[in-house]
């Protein structure tokens, strides 16, 4: 598909990350169809809270869900990225264990601890040990489509987590909003996808301008906090570049001082400001002033808006925007976005350290 595209966007993507990003609307539709076939078996007793145990792309899907329904959830949604649950996760909670591979070390540790604590559980995986443990114990385990790097499967995880909230009676049916989001992503692919020339492609132009700069992603905490984190981690994993994210208003109480002395950064820097129409007026003003301050200190500033549509469609569109940006940063840098050699090596060394 990419062989005929303009250089370098038709090269260096040997593992097909571009095609996976292009296929995000189909991910949503497939997840909705799978969900209709596999309804969540929720507990008869409403849980006091939902605790999601996950790492990486699975965890960000839960963060996105929490942000999406932040003003509607009647009970807490807690995301735990660790080996142990906090004390509040007890027998009156519901634990959702999410691992794309089904073999994530931290998630399996949380599963074992939930068994010991007698916490009601559900799971979400393509297979692996997590699915095996669920089958052996009669625990409901939603199935995910396989064959993808976890970070490229975010919508496969995000859709079923929203479906679980609906099954618990916490939110309305999310399917109509997801169908709107799928349509928005198709429109986004027509504007930002690899087949669109750089002269007409805002994500490609941004990648060209950002290449070689230290990247800082800033957004409002309430609305787009998880999306800023998603942009950072996609730049890390796809482009193999360090990036940083922070949120207003908190960053205006500490991090902004780090910009006080021009020239102290090791190389030129750029700030990416993410905006949404639901940003509170106070947050919008803080983002504007933060951008102005960083620009005065010598940083290049780019502002990206979530655009039109419902809340879910806008959030999904910004996720897509960041995914394409990270892809183009990788291709312009001459690296294949899919392999993650550093993580693979770290896992090997971690395993060796236990022997």
> Read out DSSP for 302-321?
EEEE--SS-HHHHHHHHHHH
Q: Which of 106, 180, 237, 240 is catalytic?
A: 237
Output the 3-class SS for 191-236: HHCCCCCHHHCHHHHHHHHHCCCEEEEEEEHHHHHHHHHHHHHHHH
Residues 162 and 213 in one domain: no
Q: In the structure encoding, which two tokens stand for residue 140, read together? A: 């409901």
Task: Output the pLDDT for position 10.
Answer: 63
Q: Checking DSSP bridges between strand 94-99 and strand 214-220, what pairing results, if any?
A: unpaired
- CATH assignment at residue 103: 3.40.50.10490
Count of the separate structural domains present in the chain: 2
Sheet containing 121-125: give its strands across. Answer: 77-80, 50-53, 94-99, 121-125, 141-143
User: 253 catalytic, yes or no?
Assistant: yes
Q: Tens digit of pLDDT for each residue in 263-274?
A: 655 458 999 999
Q: Which of 250, 303, 345, 347 is catalytic?
A: 347
One-character DSSP codes across 24-53: HHHHHHHHHHHHHHS-----SSPPS-EEEE
Residues 165 and 276 in one domain: no
Residues 287 and 143 in one domain: no
Q: Which of 118, 253, 260, 266 is catalytic?
A: 253
Residue at 349 is within a domain: no
Residues 195 and 143 in one domain: no
| Ranges of the chain whose pLDDT falls below 70 | 1-7, 10-11, 262-267
Residue at 10 is within a domain: no
Alpha-carbon distances, residue 147 vs 112, 157, 181 (angstroms): 26, 14, 23
Residues 197 and 264 in one domain: yes
Q: How many angstroms separate the CA atoms of 167 and 98, rounded? A: 17
Residue at 308 is within a domain: yes
Q: How many angstroms separate the CA atoms of 202 and 180, rounded? A: 22
Task: Output the pLDDT for position 238.
Answer: 97
CA 81 from centroid of its chain's CA atoms: 14
Q: Tens digit of pLDDT for each residue in 32-70?
A: 999 999 999 999 999 999 999 999 999 999 999 999 999
Residue at 338 is within a domain: no
Task: Output the pLDDT for position 231.
Answer: 98
Residues 26 and 163 in one domain: yes
One-character DSSP codes across 105-143: HHHHHHHHHHHHHT--EEEEESSHHHHHHHHHHT--EEE
| Locus of tokens 């993507």 | 13
User: 204 catalytic, yes or no?
Assistant: no
Residue at 343 is within a domain: no
User: 244 catalytic, yes or no?
Assistant: no
**Given CA atoms 98, 319, 28, 199 in this order, what sign does their dihedral have?**
negative
Task: Output the pLDDT for position 262.
Answer: 66
Residues 59 and 167 in one domain: yes
Give residue 327's domain range.
Answer: 187-333
Residue at 102 is within a domain: yes
Task: Output the pLDDT for position 9.
Answer: 73
Residues 49 and 129 in one domain: yes
Residue at 1 is within a domain: no
Task: Output the pLDDT for position 264.
Answer: 57
- Residues ≥6 apart with Cβ < 8 Å to 329: 207, 210, 211, 235, 238, 239, 241
Residues 21 and 154 in one domain: yes
Which of 111, 143, 173 corresponds to the end of one domain? 173
Residues 85 and 207 in one domain: no
Task: Output the pLDDT for position 267.
Answer: 57
Please name every residue paired with 95 in a beta bridge, in sequence order, or none if there are none. 51, 121
Residues 136 and 84 in one domain: yes
Residues 275 and 156 in one domain: no
Residue at 12 is within a domain: no
Which of 122, 141, 173 corresponds to the end of one domain? 173
Chain length of the chain: 355
Task: Output the pLDDT for position 354.
Answer: 84
């Amino acid at each position: 598909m990419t062989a005929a595209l303009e250089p370098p966007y038709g090269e260096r993507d040997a593992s097909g990350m571009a095609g996976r990003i292009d296929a995000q609307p189909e991910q949503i539709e497939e997840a909705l169809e799978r969900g209709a076939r596999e309804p969540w078996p929720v507990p008869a007793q409403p849980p006091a809270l939902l605790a999601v145990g996950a790492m990486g792309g699975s965890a960000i899907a839960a963060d996105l869900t929490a942000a999406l329904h932040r003003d509607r959830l009647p009970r807490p949604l807690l995301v735990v990225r660790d080996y142990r649950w906090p004390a509040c996760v007890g027998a009156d909670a519901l634990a959702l264990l999410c691992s794309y591979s089904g073999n994530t070390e931290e998630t399996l540790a949380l599963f074992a601890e939930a068994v010991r604590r007698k916490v009601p559980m559900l799971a979400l995986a393509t297979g692996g040990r997590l699915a095996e443990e669920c089958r052996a114990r009669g625990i409901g385990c939603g199935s995910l489509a396989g064959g993808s790097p976890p970070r490229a499967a975010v919508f496969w995880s995000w859709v079923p987590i929203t479906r679980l909230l609906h099954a618990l009676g916490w939110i309305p049916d999310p399917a109509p909003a997801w169908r709107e989001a799928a349509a928005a992503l198709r429109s986004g692919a027509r504007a930002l996808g690899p087949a669109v020339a750089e002269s007409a492609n805002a994500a490609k132009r941004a990648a060209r301008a950002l290449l070689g700069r230290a990247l800082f992603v800033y957004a409002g905490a309430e609305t787009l906090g998880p999306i800023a984190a998603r942009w950072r981690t996609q730049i890390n994993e796809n482009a193999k570049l360090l990036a940083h994210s922070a949120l207003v208003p908190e960053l205006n109480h500490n991090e902004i001082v780090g910009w006080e002395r021009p020239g102290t950064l090791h190389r030129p820097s750029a700030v990416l400001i993410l905006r949404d129409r639901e940003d509170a007026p106070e947050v919008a003003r803080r983002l504007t002033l933060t951008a102005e301050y960083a620009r005065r200190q010598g940083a290049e500033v780019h502002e990206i808006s979530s655009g039109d549509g419902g809340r879910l469609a806008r959030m999904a569109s910004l996720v897509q925007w960041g995914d394409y940006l990270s892809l183009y940063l990788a291709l312009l840098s001459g690296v294949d976005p899919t392999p993650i050699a550093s993580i693979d090596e770290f896992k090997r060394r971690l395993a060796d350290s236990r022997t």
